[in-house]
Structure 1
Amino acid sequence: MSIRTMRRALIVAGIAAIGALSPLVHAETDDALLTMPTSQENIVAGLGTDAYVNGVNAYVWGYPLVRMERIAREYTDVSGAQSATSYRAPLNQIGWARELATPAAKDMPTANNDTMYMSAIVKLDEPYVLHVPDTKDRYYVVDVFNMWQELEHYVGRRTTGTKAGDFALVPPGWKGKLPKGVKRLDVTTSKVWLWGRLRVNDGEQTGPLLKLQQQFTLRPLSQMNNKNYKAPAAKLPPLPATGDDGLGFYRQLAAAVKDNPPPARDAALFAQLARIGLSAKGFDPAKLAPPQTAGLKRALEDGPKVAVSALATSAVQRNGWAWATGLDAFGTDYPLRALVSGPYLGGQGEKEAMYPLRSADANGQQLVGSKNYVIRFKKAPPVNAFWSLTVYNAADKMLVDNPIRRYKLGTDTQGLKLNADGSFDVPLSATQPTGPFAANWLPTPKGPYYMILRLYQPKEEALSGAYALPQVDEVK
């Protein structure tokens, strides 16, 4: 027996002995702690439960950071062939998709089919200047995310307009002065993710848009006026290997925290994680007893369920649609932040875009391709930009392959049939329907699926709930 094991056994035995000698005070009360023996059985059970509880907290709180650090490496990996829908680019460079997302685009779960995406992972050794061109009122937005997947700034049509401009991404602690005309955007982590969207109208020729993309530039402040600047080759160091003991998430979280210190509001929460071997110094599972290790593994099974539960605790239910607000102001709603950073990575606040989500019909039954449905719009969603309705496979959260290559229906869908009063129906089915609204068909997969109704720059009528989201009825 090792000295450490012997010492631990003696301590446990001593505590148990003290518990055995102590009188059972207040035994008549319902205070379980006052009457609970400090037996080895209870101590072992407590260690496992404590590790489980802290493990769940570590997952729900830390998942966005781990996810973003993984994404930072994934989206800067251009070692393989890049498809036209890919927006990957080397570190400190802008990458643009050259085509709209299709079912073959696997980088982004729940991708839209409305905009070409832009991505840039920026390591801020100094401020970086993002130059945006005049888009002549064309919708675009560039979101500035910190490494906790918190949206700190918008650059785009709604907030800064569509004229040309320069925006400096300023890292924590930088004390310098910016040139005149450059807008300062302070960020809270030393790396950021720029996540952009550029509107593509249905059937539009993309040649001019590809030229417009090239007018978005990203340069260090020291190279701001160097038109010939080319970013040097650079890579982020790899995250720790997950290993084969089932505790890899905690290793990666500890490594990510070293580069991204927890904000002050989370200091107390983070301090609790020292009991499971996770601190600013790293993660040391060697110090854990077997019940603690088991508790941490079980936490990784249940943590994702806690994140998914945010749809019930943080989302408003409107006529069968779940609408989560505050995607740019999570505060301490860690389950919602975790959920968004996973399958809904890059989601925006409701003033920029609404994302009502639906996976059940009017009777509360899961939407499945073996049934036919109809969505009845009394009128088009009220927006200052555009709207779209998109279907996704429930299993992989990807767009649905279909024979007419229609992945969404929206503002500019060609041939969309409306009634005289502006109302319209949208058939949902895995096979092409017939009838008066067949032209409005939105294809579905054969299995379970869900939908997102996107409203870009929604009007107050939509934000307030005055606009009634449409019902989804099964068609027998």
Structure 2
Amino acid sequence: MKTTRTLNVLAAALVGVLPMSGLPAQSLAQETGFDKLANLPFVENRPTKETAQTLRDELLFQRATQIYLWALPLINTLGMQVGSEKTFGAGYNVLPIWKQRLDAKTLVTTPNSDVLYAMSYVDLGKDGPLVMEAPTGLQGILDDYWQRPIPVDGHGGKFAGDVGLAGPDGGKGGKFLMLPPGYNGAVPKGYYVYRSATNNVFIFLRGFYEDPKNLTPAAEHLQKTKIYPLNGAAGAKPMKYPDASGVPVDMLPISDGSVFDQLKRLVDSEGDNLAGPDWLGMLAAIGIVKGQPFNPDAQTREILHRAAKTGYKMSRVIGFEETVSGRSFREYPDRQWLNPIADGTPANPGGPFDLNWHRKDGNYLDLNTRIWFFTDYYSLSPGMLSQNPGKGAKYVIGFTDSTGTPLSGGSSYKINLPPNVPAANFWSVTLYEAENASGLANGQPFPSLGSRDKPAENADGSTTLYLGPKAPAGEEGNWLATVPGRGFFAILRLYGPTEAALDKRWKPGDIEKAQ
């Protein structure tokens, strides 16, 4: 029985990851085993014992795989929390800071190596309302565990999630009060009040520096951030700011069977805050119920493990697509660069969906677009979507070269950036692993290169960057290393994009094969 079950689950896994188009139906069935499932024997119109067991296993596998894809924003957050707390410790008073920037030893989806990061994970259900006291000049986001920006009292959706430069304080700093779901207690004056839809909250802060050779002032400024209980400031635990730079830590979305244990922990912490009856029912169908033991037997564990692996691989398939849910992410009609909000406008910065990933034109969850985002990225807010010149940020993503061919670590490429890059603060290009969207481990201190590194300009004021296993002669200062045998992708970031970036008058050249 064990062998049969394992083979059946493997067949189901193959069904999930093989392409569904371009094959005749009969060929597809023979290739994937669909025909075996569809034609399992029934005797006297009843399933045989073996058929019943096979289909039970298949049902568990399918439900667990769909739960994985549905829960990907949670899984992204949980991956960061589990990896961080295992390495740096847990608690509202623990705020890891990448004091020397974030290099490829930190495995996390599409980090930015050109700012300082600080990330923390708090539980308002356990600790009650919490205050984050932040200094001036930060850029931060307060998200619930679905990574939905938390709304601010008195501001509607205008500043949802944003603190600091894009927040209600306008970068002046202040006290930000985080309240748990359903909180109806007294709210003191003097706070920016954020009402979370989940007990668990993800705190993500960025710090900016002037001189990449002297990061100490920026790190010390981030350490002015304090987090403490609203009703217990005097007895609050002392803050800890572990230096996360250069420390190997895996904060990627969990892609093995342990993800279901983490979802169980979240269900116990959140209950009805986490989801509606239908999806709580799906979780219950695989054994995850608030307050009840979750102890799958060895065979069930194996199926759940395969479901998590398959769900993650499915998300990677979706994550590399240019068009999702009938919506193209192409930023410029004549370029290969993509942008998840390529159709955003000043009046409609999120394009056709809101920050809860619901379609504005159909009022339904755009599930595939949400999967597309959270397999590679995390945290979105009104400030990040800002279409006001000099505010927010603009990101364009290069998965392919100018011919539409995926980027390969063994090939050499170049990118031309026209003169006067429209970034009020700075710009950078960063390389990422195709396997998991973490920073490319290319042997350089950081897999990024930008305006602060002062790359050489061409005679016309443009800048040419080179990507490849070896630097072109004399171009070492304009070169990012790639690794043969490893696919990669690139993100061009403009911090404080100006009018020419927002109206797309300025556009970068494609990533082109170099001779």
After TM superposition, the score normalised by the length of structure 2 is 0.69
After TM superposition, the structure 1 = structure 2 runs for residues 26-37 of structure 1, keeping only pairs within 5 Å, are none
Distance 1:98 1:232, change over 3 A: closer
SS at match of 1:71: helix
Structure 2 residue 153 is matched with structure 1 residue 114 = no
- Give 2:316's aligned residue: 308
- Give 1:374's aligned residue: 414
Give the Cα–Cα distance (whole angstroms) in 1 for the partners of residues 315 and 293 of structure 2. Answer: 23
Q: Which amino acid aligns with 1:353?
A: A
TM-aligned CA deviation for residue 184 of structure 1: 0.6
Q: Could you list the per-position Cα deviations for residues 146-193 of structure 1 after superposition, in whole angstroms to 9, with x for gaps in the alignment?
A: 122333311021233221321111112222333322111111121212
| Structure 1: tracts of 5 or more residues without a match | 1-31, 80-87, 234-245
TM-aligned CA deviation for residue 107 of structure 1: 4.7
- Give 1:364's aligned residue: 404
TM-aligned CA deviation for residue 263 of structure 1: 4.8
Give the Cα–Cα distance (whole angstroms) in 2 for the partners of residues 433 and 202 of structure 1. Answer: 27
Give the Cα–Cα distance (whole angstroms) in 1 for the partners of residues 482 and 413 of structure 2. Answer: 10
After TM superposition, the structure 1 = structure 2 runs for residues 27-426 of structure 1, keeping only pairs within 5 Å, are 38-40=45-47, 46-77=55-86, 90-103=91-104, 105-124=105-124, 125-135=127-137, 140-152=138-150, 153-160=161-168, 161-224=170-233, 226=234, 229-231=236-238, 248-263=258-273, 266-282=276-292, 296=304, 298-311=306-319, 312=321, 313=324, 316-318=329-331, 319-325=335-341, 328-331=355-358, 332-338=365-371, 340-341=373-374, 343-346=376-379, 349-351=384-386, 352-395=392-435, 397-402=438-443, 405=445, 407-420=447-460, 422-426=461-465
Q: Could you list the per-position Cα deviations for residues 349-396 of structure 1 after superposition, in whole angstroms to 9, with x for gaps in the alignment?
A: 433433322232112323233322111222454334332101234346
TM-aligned CA deviation for residue 297 of structure 1: 5.3
- Give 1:472's aligned residue: 511
Distance 1:170 1:399, change over 3 A: same
- Give 1:15's aligned residue: none
Q: Once superposed, what is the RMSD of the aligned Cα atoms?
A: 3.6
Distance 1:474 1:451, change over 3 A: same
Distance 1:411 1:266, change over 3 A: farther
Give the Cα–Cα distance (whole angstroms) in 1 for the partners of residues 296 and 447 of structure 2. Answer: 50
Structure 2 residue 468 is matched with structure 1 residue 429 = yes
Distance 1:461 1:50, change over 3 A: farther
User: Any conservation in 2 of the 1:389–1:453 contact (CA below 8 Å)?
Assistant: yes
User: Any conservation in 2 of the 1:428–1:443 contact (CA below 8 Å)?
Assistant: yes
- 2:482 is matched with which residue: 444, 448, 461? 444
> Higher mean Cα deviation, 334-343 or 67-76?
334-343
TM-aligned CA deviation for residue 70 of structure 1: 4.8
TM-aligned CA deviation for residue 339 of structure 1: 5.6
Give the Cα–Cα distance (whole angstroms) in 1 for the partners of residues 506 and 144 of structure 2. Answer: 33
Give the Cα–Cα distance (whole angstroms) in 1 for the partners of residues 195 and 129 of structure 2. Answer: 9
User: Any conservation in 2 of the 1:372–1:474 contact (CA below 8 Å)?
Assistant: yes
Give the Cα–Cα distance (whole angstroms) in 2 for the partners of residues 223 and 283 of structure 1. Answer: 33
SS at match of 1:130: strand
User: Any conservation in 2 of the 1:100–1:115 contact (CA below 8 Å)?
Assistant: yes
SS at match of 1:451: strand
Identity of aligned residues (%): 23
TM-aligned CA deviation for residue 144 of structure 1: 1.0
Give the Cα–Cα distance (whole angstroms) in 2 for the partners of residues 248 and 122 of structure 1. Answer: 21
User: Any conservation in 1 of the 2:143–2:202 contact (CA below 8 Å)?
Assistant: yes
Distance 1:119 1:286, change over 3 A: closer
Distance 1:475 1:154, change over 3 A: same
Distance 1:419 1:128, change over 3 A: farther
Give the Cα–Cα distance (whole angstroms) in 2 for the partners of residues 383 and 303 of structure 1. Answer: 37
Give the Cα–Cα distance (whole angstroms) in 2 for the partners of residues 286 and 117 of structure 1. Answer: 37
TM-aligned CA deviation for residue 273 of structure 1: 4.2
Give the Cα–Cα distance (whole angstroms) in 2 for the partners of residues 286 and 78 of structure 1. Answer: 27
TM-aligned CA deviation for residue 335 of structure 1: 4.6
Q: Which amino acid aligns with 2:308?
A: L
Q: Which amino acid aligns with 1:446?
A: P
After TM superposition, the score normalised by the length of structure 1 is 0.74
When the two structures are aligned, how many residues end up with a matched partner? 411
SS at match of 1:362: coil
User: Any conservation in 2 of the 1:150–1:329 contact (CA below 8 Å)?
Assistant: yes
Distance 1:333 1:285, change over 3 A: farther
Q: Which amino acid aligns with 2:409?
A: G
TM-aligned CA deviation for residue 206 of structure 1: 2.3
Give the Cα–Cα distance (whole angstroms) in 2 for the partners of residues 354 and 316 of structure 1. Answer: 14
TM-aligned CA deviation for residue 341 of structure 1: 4.5
Q: Which amino acid aligns with 1:253?
A: L
Q: Which amino acid aligns with 2:136?
A: D
User: Any conservation in 2 of the 1:111–1:399 contact (CA below 8 Å)?
Assistant: no
Distance 1:283 1:353, change over 3 A: farther
User: Any conservation in 2 of the 1:92–1:121 contact (CA below 8 Å)?
Assistant: no
